[in-house]
Homo-oligomer: A and B are copies of this chain.
Amino acid sequence: MDLDLRKLRYFVAVAEHRHFGRAAEHLFIAQPVLSRQIRAFERELGCALLTRTTRSVELTAAGRQLHEEARRVLTTVDAAVRRVHEADRGVARLAVAFAPGLHVSEAVRAFADAHPGVEIDLIPLRWYDQHSPLHDGRAHVGFLRRPFDDTGLRTIPVGHEPRAAILPAAHPLAGRPSLLSADLEGEKLLDAQQRRAASIEEKLELIAAGYGIGVGPLSAARAYSRPDLALVPVTDAEPYETCLAAPEDNRDERVRDFLTIATKVLRG
């Protein structure tokens, strides 16, 4: 059931040489061993990867896919090992996630100045996936916009952001500098939460095509803006609250320091 990385490297060699003999030579093993390992690999995966004749070796569809995946897998693994060694040598690391449209660079820079030894990973979040990277450990700390699932998270509110209507450029209200909620009465609102599978791009397409209008945080909407859409702030709508978040059981010094520094920077 477990993918074997050695066999994966073997497969990559064969896929790239399209020749068992030369691939084996390149891997410093004997050719029959390679043949056997590749067969075993195909058996483990449950599908054929290569079509072999005595005169040629070609990739099947699954083989081509695996060849592409291999690159991703092997670079991921190598990066993982490298980061573990760094951690062992004392290099600290902090993964900061941020929602689209929110800017963390100033806070990150302030933190980096105070902690020159800490490597920062910036993780841009998607519209509908604000909480999972914090919950599953991909990020140590996040800069998010409510609402999101904050169970198990410690959150620190740092600001507010106005709502904006997202309209087709040809919409009668598109030219207005600002709107009131009442102006949007009777408009068809495409609910952001309606279909989580749908991408934000798709929703914007629908708006541009005239199927309805959207409402969202101004900065985030601007990050995805396009010439055929207009953004108009809705002045009397409840603003979005932005906040810093981290797992609440986290007593990591880096995280604590980042939260205090970022809170100062983002509120100031």
Q: Would you call B223 and A224 a contact (CB within 8 A)? A: yes
Q: Which residues of B contact A138 (CB under 8 A)?
A: 68, 71-72
Q: Which residues of B contact A73 (CB under 8 A)?
A: 76-77, 80
Q: Tell yes or no: A103 within 8 A of B by CB.
A: yes
Most buried by B among A105, A137, A223: A105
Interface residues on A, range: 35 or more
Q: Tell yes or no: A183 within 8 A of B by CB.
A: no
Which residues of chain A (45-97) have a CB below 8 Å from chain B? 45-48, 60-62, 64-73, 76-77, 79-81, 83-88, 90, 92-93, 95
Q: Which residue of B lies closest to A93 (CB)?
A: B65
Q: How far is the CB of A66 from chain B (nearest CB, A)?
A: 5
Q: Which residues of B contact A61 (CB under 8 A)?
A: 87-88, 90, 92
| Closest 8 pairs (CB-CB, A-B) | A65-B87, A69-B80, A47-B88, A62-B88, A105-B201, A76-B76, A62-B87, A66-B84
> Which residues of A line the B interface, CB within 8 A?
2-6, 9, 45-48, 60-62, 64-73, 76-77, 79-81, 83-88, 90, 92-93, 95, 103, 105-106, 109, 122, 136-138, 199, 201-202, 204-205, 219, 222-227
